[in-house]
Amino acid sequence: MKELWRNKWVRRALFGLLLVAIVTGVRGWQQRDLVAGRAPPLYGTSVVGQTVTLDAPQRPTLVYFWATWCPVCRLEESTIESIATDHPVVTVAMQSGADADLVHHQKKRGLKAVVLNDNTGEQAGNWGVRVTPTFFVIDRHGRIRFRETGYTSEAGLRLRLWWANR
């Protein structure tokens, strides 16, 4: 048995398995309260005065919970903007200040996506969101098909949106 532990490939493989187990456990813990099944209501007025509702999406829609103070969310900004050119996207800013602060943030960063301000945490609570960023892919029947927390690649989100259309 000692000789097995001395093999560097065995040690690396075991370390890799341990790392995968830890990451999987953390992700599961982060997603434990996220809603599943039918998407909860999501409606309101965007920070620029546009009426937003998710009652009956005609095609797969991305719902994205984020915050201005979240460094991972900043990494996702270009991904969200790119996806918003091809798919419906509703973004929900959590605990990020007044509407004017969010408008300033959008202008400063060159962002155009629709933003609902959730300063009270009501929307996040309805969806079971505790961490940012959090993504939901809603199919055209209003069902949550995918839920994800943390960094997600553009290809991964596009694949989920495509799959939700099947």
pLDDT recorded at residue 13: 82
Alpha carbons 155 and 142: distance in angstroms, whole number:
22
Report the CATH number that the domain containing residue 150 is assigned in CATH. 3.40.30.10
40 in the same domain as 22: no
87 in the same domain as 12: no
156 in the same domain as 139: yes
49 in the same domain as 17: no
| 91 within 8 A of 64, measured Cβ to Cβ | yes
Alpha carbons 1 and 18: distance in angstroms, whole number:
19
Which one has a higher pLDDT value, 132 or 26?
Answer: 132
Nearest-Å Rg of the Cα atoms of the chain is: 19
pLDDT recorded at residue 31: 62
40 in the same domain as 112: yes
The pTM of this model reads 0.82
53 in the same domain as 6: no
Average pLDDT for residues 24-42, to the nearest whole number?
A: 77
Q: For 121-138, how does the pLDDT look when each residue is reduced to its tens digit (9 = 90+)?
A: 999 999 999 999 999 999
For residue 82, CA distances in Å to 79, 112, 127, 143 come to 5, 10, 24, 23
At which residue do the structure tokens 């991972």 appear? 72
47 in the same domain as 70: yes
Confidence tier at 19 by pLDDT (50, 70, 90): confident
Provide the domain count of the chain.
Answer: 2
Mean pLDDT of the residues in the chain: 89
Q: For residue 150, is pLDDT > 80?
A: yes
Average pLDDT for residues 50-74, to the nearest whole number?
A: 91
pLDDT recorded at residue 55: 74
Q: For residue 111, is pLDDT > 80?
A: yes
Domain span holding position 111: 36-164
Token pair belonging to 140 = 């055209």
153 in the same domain as 112: yes
160 in the same domain as 116: yes
Q: For residue 86, is pLDDT > 70?
A: yes
89 in the same domain as 116: yes
Residue 80 parent element (H or E): helix 71-84
Confidence tier at 17 by pLDDT (50, 70, 90): confident
47 in the same domain as 4: no
What are φ and ψ of residue 60, in 5° steps? -55, 140
Average pLDDT for residues 25-30, to the nearest whole number?
A: 63
Alpha carbons 93 and 67: distance in angstroms, whole number:
5
Task: Using DSSP bridges, classify how beta strands 37-38 and 43-45 pair: parallel, antiparallel or unpaired.
Answer: unpaired
71 in the same domain as 11: no
Q: For residue 1, is pLDDT > 60?
A: no
